[in-house]
């Protein structure tokens, strides 16, 4: 039976269980089981049937199209789930799921998951958001594969450290969303995020510590996204989020939620050792009718620099 306070604490902040009352969550998953998965072991194989959704309690999973490959579709970390599309759709698994590190998973069967969805509007809403994001990611990958087959660039679109899309993908995707918003006369905004004092953090806690901190920022970014928002790793130190159909005020509110989420989270190494919390600075720019992606990013860069100059852990908007 699942009654561990540590497990329930992880589940409370997991995207699938956000907003679900603790008592209901504990009751619904009380008969679920935990499952260790050593690094390198395969959890799911394309073509197999699956009636279980797995929540990552610790470690990371790789999603990949082939059993042995350097090309990953996504990397998932603590609190994220796998198996939901095959379980809910009653369809065979479509990709390999492999343990990138030693993992501990929570396995929730089909009946228990459906009971939770039926008893909680929040669970249904969360699952819809997750499925929307998965379908969107699948469409992007299909488009990339088609380009590759037709002779276009076929390099990986996923940043392996954070699991977010890489700079190449964000440039292409953001450009499309920017043009679409301008043509449709819809307001859009860009967030540019940078960890405060990254070099000092690395000196104090090593590369492993700074890598985990960057992964935590990436996870926080995904946790705060709406279905149509787009996030990616802009550079080694920066992350970018494009918010379509969003006013400057709403973008600032979203940025503040992200800033607060990061500042209240501990950086926990795979060994279980906790490092000090981190903070981020965020620059916000609103798209204009005459904007190019370069000019939109330039203003966000200026706002980000102003936030850093003001001491960090704050948000500034482009003038």
Burial bucket for residue 54 (CB in 10 Å: 0-12, 13-18, 19+): buried
Question: What pTM does this model have?
Answer: 0.57
* pLDDT at residue 281, as a whole number: 97
SS (H, E, C) 54-86: EEEEECCEEEECCCCCCCEEEEECCCCEECHHH
| CA geometry: angle 143, 232, 288, nearest 5 deg | 95
* pLDDT at residue 151, as a whole number: 45
* pLDDT at residue 1, as a whole number: 47
- Name the H helices within 83-197: 84-89, 110-119, 121-149, 167-183
pLDDT along the chain (319 residues), means of 10: 73 85 83 90 92 92 75 79 85 88 92 90 86 67 52 63 88 87 88 95 93 92 83 92 94 94 87 89 94 94 96 93
Domains and their CATH numbers in the chain: 5-138 (2.60.120.10), 167-317 (3.30.70.270)
């Amino acid at each position: 039976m699942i009654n561990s306070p540590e497990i329930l604490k992880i589940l409370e902040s997991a995207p699938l269980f956000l907003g679900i009352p603790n008592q209901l969550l504990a009751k619904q998953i009380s008969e679920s089981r935990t499952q260790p998965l050593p690094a390198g072991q395969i959890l799911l194989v394309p073509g197999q049937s699956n009636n279980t959704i797995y929540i990552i309690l610790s470690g990371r999973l790789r999603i990949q199209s082939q059993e042995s490959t350097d090309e990953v579709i996504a990397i998932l970390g603590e609190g994220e789930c796998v198996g939901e599309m095959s379980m809910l759709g009653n369809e065979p698994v479509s990709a390999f799921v492999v343990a990138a590190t030693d993992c501990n998973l929570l396995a929730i069967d089909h009946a228990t998951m459906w009971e939770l969805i039926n008893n909680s509007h929040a669970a249904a809403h969360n699952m819809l958001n997750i499925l929307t994001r998965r379908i969107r990611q699948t469409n992007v990958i299909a488009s990339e594969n088609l380009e590759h087959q037709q002779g276009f660039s076929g390099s990986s679109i996923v940043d392996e450290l954070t699991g977010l899309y890489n700079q190449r993908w964000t440039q292409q995707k953001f450009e499309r969303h920017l043009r679409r918003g301008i043509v449709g006369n819809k307001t859009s905004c860009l967030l540019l995020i940078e960890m405060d004092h990254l070099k000092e953090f690395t000196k104090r806690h090593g590369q492993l510590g700074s890598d985990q901190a960057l992964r935590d920022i990436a996870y926080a970014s995904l946790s705060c996204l709406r279905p149509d928002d787009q996030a990616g790793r802009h550079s080694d130190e920066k992350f970018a989020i494009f918010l379509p159909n969003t006013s400057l005020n709403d973008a600032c509110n979203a940025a503040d939620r992200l800033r607060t989420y990061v500042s209240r989270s501990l950086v926990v190494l795979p060994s279980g050792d906790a490092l000090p919390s981190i903070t981020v600075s965020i620059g916000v720019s609103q798209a204009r009718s005459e904007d190019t992606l370069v000019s939109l990013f330039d203003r966000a860069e200026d706002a980000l620099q102003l936030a850093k100059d003001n001491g960090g852990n704050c948000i500034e908007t482009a003038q």
